[in-house]
Structure 1
């Protein structure tokens, strides 16, 4: 196992710069997720750690060694791809043993490592099968097993669950997390799915347009996003945003479009008159006779909760989740509010947290 250090890394393709001075410290044994929308540079960064892409400038180190000019096979890493990349003419056992065969490892050692990985992943009954005889989840476990037998310093996962159905993705999330807890190998995991990032990682790196927007533990990012992008990206459903300014109505308050008013606590109310964006998680909104009006457009019962999508008098969309089974109807107007200590405020011009 080893730490991974990324220092002011830049990547350009011709005159187009993809990564703009990215710096990340990954501690030995840590599970770090790189998350962001398509095109943010997360997969490019992962490929640079693996040695599949060159570094335009900056430095990448694995353990104490700078690996900018080290060949991928000499970096002591193992990568699991989105498309499994299994050899169709080889059995599960042969696929898992292939990297050791290339290293001319002893037959007894190879068999022992394959058996251990198969036991960890529940693949023992499948060792004699071919990839075409396996389900998607089984193929992904074989790809993970092929990585485990190498006993690398670092695991790299490039959106490994994207090709699986929703139910299987949930099961595989748990398997990968349990695997990390058992092996304690440093892991860098790329995904565009923020639910995967939240549920699996020790630390999340949120990327956008080639820069790092925020690094932190999952709940820290959820509870205290640094800016509007992180607030909108982390959380499902996404955080609600209302545009307005801070004023005073017998106490500090947010004044939004269409006469929307939300009380603020003293600290949040500082800096009156500044254009601001108020953020509120859907689960933090509640019914109140003193709240602001919202016309319900859509009612979505999910079983465990009821979600409503509505519009404020200023025409801004708002989503609210309720655990209670209210009899909401489209066209109905309800009044909503949010506790002052659960409100997020952002600068309306810079998007930074206030």
Structure 2
């Protein structure tokens, strides 16, 4: 196991810079997820740690050893790709053993490592099969087994569940998390799926346009997002954003939005007449009281809860209702929220108001 340190890391393709001086510390044994929209640079960062992309500027250290100029084989890492990349003409056992045979390790050691990895992953009965006789989830476990047998200092996962159906992704999320708890190996995992990030990570690194927006524990990012980008990216459905103007009366503060006055907690430095952005998560909305008036456009029952798309002044907002109630399109409702559940952001920069 090892820690990973990234300092002032930059990556350019020609004149286009895609990573802009990143700093990141990953502690020994942590499960860290890099998350963000397509094109944010998360896979590029992972490939640079792996040694599959050159470094334009900055440093990467694994276990306090600078690895900038080391080839992948000398970094003591193992990578699991989105594509399983299994050899179709080799059995499961042979696929898992391949990296060890390339190292010319003794047969007895190889057999022992493959056997132990197969037992951990529930693949023992499939060791004699070929990839064509396996399901997608079983093939992904074989790819993971091929990484495990190497006993690396760091595991790297590049969107390994993207090719699986929804039910299998949920199963594999739990299996990967359980595997990490058993092995306690430092793990860096890339995904664009914020649900994967929330359910699997010790720490989440939210990336956007080659920059790191925020680093923190899943619930820290959910409860106290640093800006509107993180607030909108973490959580499903996404947070609702409303433009508002502060109105202060003594110690009380109200956000005037779309003809309604929503009470808010008064952070230090908030002034009368200030333009701000309110953030309200769909699950924190209430449909009662003197709130923002709107019309239900879409009703989406999911069983345990109902998602409502509500239109007000030409913009759509989402509300989640957990009690069984009869809703119908065209129905008028009032959207409000507990003041303690309302997030406040600067309207011009999008940064959180503390």
The normalised TM-score by structure 1 is: 0.98
Tell me by how many angstroms 1:58 deviates: 0.3
Q: Report the 3-state secondary structure (helix = DSSP H, G, I; strand = E; otherwise coil) of the residue aligned with 2:37.
A: coil
Residue 69 of structure 2 corresponds to which residue in structure 1? 69
Contact 1:242 1:316 in 2 (8 A): no
Q: Does 1:212 align with 2:212?
A: yes
Q: C-alpha separation between the residues in 2 aligned to 1:155 and 1:289?
A: 51
Q: Indicate the residue corresponding to 1:25 in structure 2.
A: 25
1:53 aligns with 2:53: yes
What displacement does 1:316 show? 2.3
Give aligned pairs, total: 352
When structure 1 is superposed on structure 2, of 16-25 and 269-278 the one drifting more is 269-278
Unaligned runs of 5+ in 2: none
Q: Secondary structure at the match of 2:330?
A: coil
Cα distance in 2 for residues equivalent to 1:320 and 1:259? 19
**In structure 1, what is the equivalent of residue 327 of structure 2?**
328
For residues 289 and 221 of structure 1, the distance between their equivalents in structure 2, rounded to whole angstroms, comes to 29
Aligned-residue offset at 1:265: 2.0
Q: 2:266, 2:232 → 1: CA distance?
A: 25
Aligned match of 1:255? 256
8 Å Cα contact 1:91/1:131 also seen in 2: yes
Distance across 1 between alignment mates of 2:105 and 2:49: 25
Give the Cα separation in 2 of the matches to 1:260 and 1:74. 62
Structure 1 position 286, deviation (Å): 1.1
Structure 1 stretches lacking a partner, 5+ long: none
State the distance in 1 between where 2:52 and 2:149 align: 21
**Within 5 A, what are the aligned runs for 1:112-131?**
112-131=112-131
- Range 239-248 or range 261-270, more displaced: 261-270
| Residue-by-residue CA offset, 1:60-104 (whole Å, 9 max, x unaligned) | 000020000001000000000001011111000000000000111
Moved segments of 4+, more than 4 Å:
none
TM-score by length of 2: 0.98
Q: Is the 8 A contact 2:260 2:290 kept in 1?
A: no
Query: Shift of residue 292 of structure 1?
Result: 2.4
